[in-house]
Amino acid sequence: FRVLLLNGPNLNLLGSREPEIYGSDTLDKIEHRLREHAESMGITLDCRQSNAEHQLIDWVHEARTSHVDYIIINPGAYTHTSIALRDALAGVAIPFTEIHLSNIHAREEFRQHSFLADIAVGVICGFGAQGYDFALQAAKHFLSKQ
């Protein structure tokens, strides 16, 4: 299986960004661990991060032509603002998981609405970096039973 991991704006700052909310692991460390985890499950994992909405959208479009089976996406603040990213994910019709390090429901009210969640297979939030491992496991489970 081919899985694409997308991280959106400001997630390149993980490790130093509000560590009391987002933890102390860097994105590099998370991606490295996840690639090893994926390999042991027979999954090819492609990891990308961008601060730009258009770049994330282009990668979602590209996922269809490169036959990606599943997308794991932490859209950062675009979760709460981007109808365009929602339309891209709906457009390619690739099953995806929305993930957040923090529990967005326990934070400011403006974080409690997601433009993506209702078209996702599922949402994982509040488990910090470990959530990415859960998301990978969930993707594998979803793809294996198809």
Report, as residue numbers or ranges, the catalytic residues.
22, 100
d(CA 45, CA 136): 9
- Confirm or reject binding of residue 10 to ligand DQA (CB under 6 A): yes
Helices (H), 11-129: 19-22, 27-40, 53-65, 83-92
Contacting residue, 101, 120, 129, 136, with ligand DQA by CB under 6 A: 101
Smallest gap, in angstroms, from Cβ of residue 109 to ligand DQA?
11
d(CA 32, CA 36): 7
Cβ distance to ligand DQA smaller for residue 29 or 64: 29
d(CA 6, CA 70): 11
Report the 10 Å Cβ neighbour count for 141: 9
In degrees rounded to 5, what are phi and psi of residue 119?
A: -105, 5
Report the 10 Å Cβ neighbour count for 122: 15
- Confirm or reject binding of residue 90 to ligand DQA (CB under 6 A): no
- Confirm or reject binding of residue 140 to ligand DQA (CB under 6 A): no
Confirm or deny that 74 is annotated as ligand binding. yes
The site for ligand DQA, by CB under 6 A, has a size of: 10
Cβ distance to ligand DQA smaller for residue 74 or 82: 74
Smallest gap, in angstroms, from Cβ of residue 74 to ligand DQA?
5
- Confirm or reject binding of residue 72 to ligand DQA (CB under 6 A): no
The contact set with ligand DQA (CB under 6 A) reads 10, 74, 76-77, 79, 100-102, 104, 111
